[in-house]
Amino acid sequence: MDMQHVADKGLVLLGCGKMGSAMLAGWLERDLPPASVWVIDPKPSDWLKGTGVHLNADLPERPAIVLIAVKPQMMGEALPTIAAMGGGGTLFVSVAAGTPIEAFEAAFGSDSPIIRAMPNTPAAVGRGITAIVGNDEVSGDQMDLAEALLKAVGQVVRLEGEHQMDAVTGVSGSGPAYVFHMIECMAQAGEAEGLSPELAMQLAQATVAGAGALAEAADETPAQLRENVTSPNGTTQAGLEVLMDEDTGLPPLMKATVKAAADRSKELRRG
């Protein structure tokens, strides 16, 4: 099963907000024909209207794949529009946060192949990372297809089981917000040391973005990269002694942050 199969059978995108739009843009750039895509969205953007896809039109009976990208609170009214496609070989992929596979099995039938995916917001600029896991009905080819589609917005990793989704939520799902806050805090600290707000923010944004790009591109581990720029008794060491304090620094704070997000994910899942 490959992209040609998708082009032949059709792809249905349920919901086309920021995440749906980012994915659709990536697919179209990778030469998926607009005529092979059906989008259901109550408030289509001007960009979406200009793509040439089928918009809020009658759906194919047995598309290759249905990608569910509606907000969780919209799920109840959205799923009935595609429920009839269950059990017919159509692959369902959900990028809706918090909705477990069993909820889709209840809607489409347990004989339907269903993949749950957790992307994150850097997908909007093609730098996301998405974790995926499927039910027992999903074939190897279908996992490969979902991975190929989701690579349009960044990296893809496969989980051992759905139980890991809460931890993924705590690290990469919610994680961009932690980094955004770190940028805010670095800029405020720069202001406190005498920089203008504009300059402090520019320095903080570029430093975090550049360090992230270097960490991803380098052969060394982040720990080694940190050591490379830490001269004995230098400025970096002075800063790190505060940041790396095992009682008051970043290690216990980040552990507590990720745990709090993962715990809330578990609470929401239990309802």
Q: Which of 106, 94, 88, 126 is nearest to 9 (CA)?
A: 88
**Residues 261 and 170: beta-carbon distance below 8 Å:** yes
233 marked as part of a ligand binding site: no
Please state at what angle helix 175-192 crosses helix 197-217, rounded to 10 degrees: 140
16 marked as part of a ligand binding site: yes
49 marked as part of a ligand binding site: no
Cα distances (Å, whole numbers) of residue 147 to 25, 59, 134, 164, 222: 16, 24, 11, 18, 27
DSSP per-residue letters across 36-47: GEEEE-SS--HH
Number of Cβ within 10 Å of residue 87's Cβ equals 13
11 marked as part of a ligand binding site: no
Identity of residue 59: L
64 marked as part of a ligand binding site: no
255 marked as part of a ligand binding site: no
φ, ψ dihedrals at 85, nearest 5°: -80, -10
56 marked as part of a ligand binding site: yes
154 marked as part of a ligand binding site: no
**Residues 59 and 44: beta-carbon distance below 8 Å:** no
252 marked as part of a ligand binding site: no
Identity of residue 41: D
213 marked as part of a ligand binding site: no
**Residues 136 and 161: beta-carbon distance below 8 Å:** no
**Residues 82 and 98: beta-carbon distance below 8 Å:** no
95 marked as part of a ligand binding site: no
Which residues sit in the known binding site for NADPH? 56
Which residues sit in the known binding site? 14-19, 56, 69-72
Which residues sit in the known binding site for NADP(+)? 14-19, 69-72
